[in-house]
């Protein structure tokens, strides 16, 4: 696993092998790490965004939402404990003879609840990984703020749009 840290304006890649031989450097804040095991998490729901949607350019394809076990508690309670992580997995689609199947991954969005590190956004921090990349989160501070602004429309559900489909 590779953990990405933003230091000033640049990005620093630090290999993480579970045990560090040297002491880790001090960090100003906790950056989200790609949840490598999210494909084994609970599948919350799915939807398909087609060419007739105004959101097609950015959201076109099939998306699946996954929740870790803490986020699953949150989905049921309507309030998410620290450590909750939700993943929005967006795949391009291919249609053949009326059957739409999953194509290449467009991106993965991750929202993580960490109240101590993100008091200004109700504890949530947002990150985005393009294609199958799992190392280099791409969101700027401004884009994260935009994520939170939109998710604030769901303040009644602790800023999470999805609801668990039984």
Residue numbers of the site for a copy of itself (CB under 8 A)? 39-40, 42-43, 45-56, 62, 64, 66, 93, 95, 97-102, 165-166
Closer CB to a copy of itself, residue 19 or residue 36?
A: 36
- Please report how close the Cβ of residue 64 comes to a copy of itself at its closest, in angstroms: 7
Closer CB to a copy of itself, residue 26 or residue 99?
A: 99
- Please report how close the Cβ of residue 151 comes to a copy of itself at its closest, in angstroms: 18
- Please report how close the Cβ of residue 50 comes to a copy of itself at its closest, in angstroms: 5
Count Cα atoms within 13 angstroms, Cβ side, for 77. 11
Closer CB to a copy of itself, residue 15 or residue 97?
A: 97
Closer CB to a copy of itself, residue 25 or residue 52?
A: 52
- Please report how close the Cβ of residue 88 comes to a copy of itself at its closest, in angstroms: 14
């Amino acid at each position: 696993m590779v953990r990405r840290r933003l230091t000033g304006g640049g990005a620093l890649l630090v290999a993480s092998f579970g045990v560090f031989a040297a002491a880790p450097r001090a960090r100003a804040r906790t950056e989200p790490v790609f949840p490598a095991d999210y494909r084994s998490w609970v599948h919350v729901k799915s939807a398909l965004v087609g060419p007739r949607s105004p959101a097609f350019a950015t959201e076109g394809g099939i998306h699946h939402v996954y929740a870790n076990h803490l986020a699953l508690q949150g989905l049921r309670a309507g309030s998410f404990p620290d450590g909750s992580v939700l993943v929005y997995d967006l795949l391009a689609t291919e249609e053949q003879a009326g059957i739409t199947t999953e194509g290449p991954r467009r991106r993965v969005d991750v929202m993580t609840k960490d109240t101590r590190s993100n008091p200004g956004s109700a504890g949530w921090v947002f990150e985005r990984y393009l294609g199958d990349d799992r190392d280099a989160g791409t969101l700027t501070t401004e884009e994260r703020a935009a994520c939170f602004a939109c998710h604030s429309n769901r303040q009644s559900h602790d800023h999470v749009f999805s609801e668990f489909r039984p």
